[in-house]
Amino acid sequence: MKALLSVYDKTGVVELAQGLRELGWDLLSSGGTASVIADAGIPVTEVAELTGFPAIIGHRVVTLHPKVHGGILADRSNPDHLADMATYGIEGIDLVVVNLYPFRSDPSIELIDIGGPALIRAAAKNHAYVGVVTDPSDYQPILSELRTAGSLSSETRRRLAQAAFAATAAYDTAIAAWLAETGPSRDDRQADSNDDHGASEDVETWLPPSISLTLRRAQVLRYGENPHQLGARYTTDGESGWWASAIQHGGKEMSYLNVYDADAAWRLVHELGDEPAAVVIKHANPCGAAIADDITTAYRRAHECDPVSAFGGIVAVNRPVSEEMADALKSVFTEVLIAPGFEGDALTRLMEKRNLRILEATPPGTAERTLRSIDGGYLVQTPDRVTADPSAWQVVTKAKVTDQQWYDVVMAWRLVARVTSNAIVLVRDRQAFGIGCGQQNRRDAGRLACEKAAGRAKGGVYASDAFFPFPDGLEPAIEAGASVVVQPGGSVRDEEVIAAADDAGLAMIFTGERHFRH
């Protein structure tokens, strides 16, 4: 039996080589791998000795030779293949152990591995006869099976082949993504898109003709959206989001909705600004949000928005949890709490709630694209980034906006953008009081927000994620006693809506940017 070992990551390779030799295997290797094995006193044959060719073309050609690939690819049941092996002096290779240059560590042309993927694919194709190992974590299980059974089972070879093709697919995906990103910078291409070809240039910049994705299962979830569904969390190969480093301190395993809602909560609380903030999420929608001078006050005010909906919700805060906040939260049934840390005995107190999932996490990253599955494919778009820049907004009414009201305007605008459309949000003194979400018309969303506010938002801000198609859309704002309305504008009836606002004494702001969310 013969094994070919050629690895960049040499973790465990000496122990594997020693184990194979003890089982009577002959070892074939190249370059640094051969040196490491030989230095350990283990007999090994250099690939160059087998092929009669040294490494050439700046080490770009080492294992690309018929005596190597013929030995891997030969169908041992095919007489013609066996005849060719005899004619050309090709010996069979029964195990291929390869891992690739770490392309993602420092992407460059020279880190594009050629020989390694060729070896892996050849061995994986011929897995009926050849084992292929691409992950050092498989070394010991492979040795154990060889020691107990004398050979690798067909099931093991098939499993290894699947992992091998996944490894080369991920490698090629990383290279394709890097090539797409190199050349003119995104900023340069964005600047170039200001010419007559603007729209098409933007599409080519952000939505290229092909998108390569490799997903790896990172976590099996307690269940899917419902208990009868299976669910798992996957990561994009080569990328690391906040979930990779999140620490769960207590509670049950996470479910699909726990993860989905927790991600929404964590992103939103970081979008509300740099001051202490808290949000409560239920079914991917905020049911409470507040900004305050300290995190305990922020949490309490967020919870006050809609205590009924907060039952069984997800809480996220952008400051370490204080002991006082921990005590306040303990009396509320909460599925998940996410925070950057914990003060004093706060974590100990929270862990007394056995079913509370407590996550300690780093800030979330930003995505270049969002994907949503449809039959046979995906819808892809650039992310909805909220531009909260009052200097670019327009006050279109006779009534103006005070300096203090602008704080509520900005918070309300950031918040309504993360509410399922049609969406209306009522905010006063940096506290949400009414959130109307997911309605088929804007008036109903407004009435729902007004009903939940229950008179607490008088003098506050009424935010709409899209324009008002008719003036009667302002009726809930008037009923709620709001002083300021913020909306994108852009309706054919804008002048009628502005007139209605003037009649009611409302200040109205046009942002020029819609934020539908489905």
Q: Are residues 147 and 284 in the same domain?
A: no
Query: How big is the CA angle at 89 (ends 86 and 92), to the nearest 5 degrees?
Result: 80
Catalogue the long-range contacts made by 370-375 (C-beta closer than 8 Å, 24 or more residues apart). Answer: none
User: How many CB atoms lie under 10 A from the CB of residue 381?
Assistant: 12
Residue 283 is among the residues annotated as catalytic for this protein: yes
What's the full length of the chain, in residues? 518
Spatial CA neighbour of 313 closest among 334, 332, 287, 286: 334
- Tell me which of 341, 360, 379 is where a domain ends: 360
Q: What is the pLDDT of residue 184?
A: 52
Q: How many helices (H) and strands (E) does the chain have?
A: 20, 21
Q: Are residue 329 and residue 457 in the same domain, yes or no? A: no
- Which residue, of 179, 195, 230, is where some domain finishes? 179
Which candidate, 175, 180, 25, places its Cα nearest to that of 91? 25
Of 179, 195, 219, at which residue does a domain stop?
Answer: 179
Assess whether 293 and 441 both reside in one domain: no
The dihedrals phi and psi of 355, each to the nearest 5 degrees, come to -95, -5
pLDDT at 195: 45
Assigned token pair, 344: 């004093």
Nearest to residue 339, comparing CAs of 269, 437, 254?
269
Q: Is omega for the bond preceding 258 within 30 degrees of 0, making it cis?
A: no
- Tell me the pairing of strands 26-29 and 2-7: parallel
Output the 3-class SS for 250-317.
ECCCCCHHHHHHHHHHHHHHHHCCCCCEEEEEECCEEEEEEECCCHHHHHHHHHHHCHHHHCCEEEEE
Q: How far apart are CA 424 and CA 351, in angstroms?
A: 36
- Which residue range forms the structural domain that includes residue 276? 241-360
Residue 225 lies in a domain: no
Residue 454 within any structural domain of the chain? yes
Are residue 348 and residue 397 in the same domain, yes or no? no
> Do 127 and 167 lie in a common domain?
yes
- Between CA 36 and CA 31 the distance in angstroms is 9
Whether 18 and 164 map to the same domain: the answer is yes
Tokens of 404: 């203090």
Helix (H) or strand (E) holding 96: strand 95-99
Give residues with Cβ within 8 angstroms of 16, minimum separation 6.
5, 97, 139, 142, 143
Catalytic residue among 2, 81, 270, 283: 283
SS3 content of the chain, % helix, strand, coil (to 5): 40, 20, 40
* Distance in angstroms (rounded) separating the CA atoms of residues 493 and 485: 16
| Residue 219: inside a domain | no
Q: Return d(Cα 508, Cα 326) in angstroms, integer.
A: 39
pLDDT at position 111 is 86
Residue type, 22: E
Do 263 and 337 share a structural domain? yes
Q: Which helix (H) or strand (E) holds 379?
A: strand 377-381
67 is catalytic: no
Q: Which of 447, 284, 269 is nearest to 464 (CA)?
A: 447
Query: Does residue 186 form part of some domain?
Result: no
Count Cβ atoms below 10 Å from residue 370 Cβ, excluding itself: 12
What is the pLDDT at residue 201? 58
Paired residues of 374 in beta bridges: 377
Q: Are 4 and 37 in contact (CB under 8 A)?
A: no
- 64 belongs to a structural domain: yes
Residues 477 and 395 in one domain: yes
Long-range CB pairs of 401-404 (<8 Å, 24+ gap) are 401/484, 401/507, 401/509
Q: Does residue 151 share a domain with residue 29?
A: yes
Is residue 280 a part of any domain in this protein? yes
CA torsion sign, 182 to 186 to 192 to 198? Answer: positive
Given this model, what pLDDT does residue 101 score? 83
Q: Which of 10, 65, 81, 125 is catalytic?
A: 125
Buried b (16+ CB within 10 A) or exposed e, 484-496: bbbbbbebeebee
CA distances for 432 relative to 198, 302, 446, angstroms? 39, 7, 14
Residues 348 and 449 in one domain: no
Q: How many domains does the chain have?
A: 3
CATH code of the domain containing 410 = 3.40.140.20
Burial 270-286 (b: 16+ CB within 10 A, else e): bbbbebbbbbbbbbbbb
Q: What is the mean pLDDT of each run of 10 residues along the chain (518 residues)?
A: 93 95 94 92 92 87 92 95 95 94 85 92 97 95 95 96 93 85 54 47 77 86 95 86 93 94 96 96 95 97 96 97 95 96 95 94 90 92 90 94 95 96 96 94 92 95 94 93 95 95 96 93
Q: Indicate whether 275 belongs to any domain.
A: yes
| Cα atoms in the 13 Å half-sphere on the side-chain side of 4 | 30
Tell me the C-alpha distance between 69 and 121, whole Å. 10
**Beta-sheet pairing, 95-99 with 2-7:** parallel
Q: Quick one: which H or E segment has residue 476? A: helix 475-480
CA–CA separation, 74 and 95 (whole Å): 13
In SS3 terms, 406-439 reads as HHHHHHHHHHHCCCCCCCEEEEECCEEEEEECCC
Residues 397, 345, single domain; the answer is: no
The verdict on residue 365 lying in a domain is: no
Do 206 and 368 meet the contact criterion of CB atoms below 8 Å apart?
A: yes
Query: Is residue 152 domain-shared with residue 29, that is, in the same domain?
Result: yes
Q: Is the pTM of this model over 0.85?
A: no
CATH code of the domain covering residue 119: 3.40.50.1380
